[in-house]
Amino acid sequence: MYKQGLTSLALQKFKRSFWGVFSFWFIILMAFISVFAYVLAPDDSQFANQMHVSIHSKQPGFKVQMLVIPNALKTDQNFFNRVFFGNSNPPTEIPITRYQIENNQVSYIEYASEGLEGLEKRINFPQK
């Protein structure tokens, strides 16, 4: 006669319990999400702390154009550091109403609250 150990008996009983198996996989899923949160989140800046004051109180689903300016500072941040701690040097994002590209410049108008006109600013493209 075949003798089973206590561990294999416990695993057999556990496998028959739908809620036990469901709870196990739910915990595994939550652990995966918590470990890779910076990869999954839309804000991958360090501490997820990139804020835009002009649009902070808008309702979910609000859309605005964003001007993304790459950061010129280079950091020695490896892949694992970025995955677990976020991007320590994210690009600058500016909410804008409209923009225009002329010669080696981008002129844009910053987004202001509804009914207000933002300031017009210019950025020069870097020379190659």
Query: Is 28 a domain residue?
Result: no
Query: Is 81 a domain residue?
Result: yes
Please count the structural domains in the chain: 1
* Domain that residue 104 falls in: 36-124
In the predicted structure, residue 5 carries a pLDDT above the cut 70: yes
Query: Is 27 a domain residue?
Result: no
The helix (H) or strand (E) run that includes residue 22 is helix 18-35
Q: In what order do the strands lie in the sheet with 92-102?
A: 65-69, 92-102, 105-110, 120-124
Q: Which amino acid is at 90?
A: P
Q: What is the pLDDT of residues 49-61, one digit of tens each?
A: 667 777 777 788 8
Higher pLDDT, 89 or 26: 26
The answer to whether 58 and 16 are in contact (CB under 8 A) is no
Query: Is 1 a domain residue?
Result: no
Query: Is 16 a domain residue?
Result: no
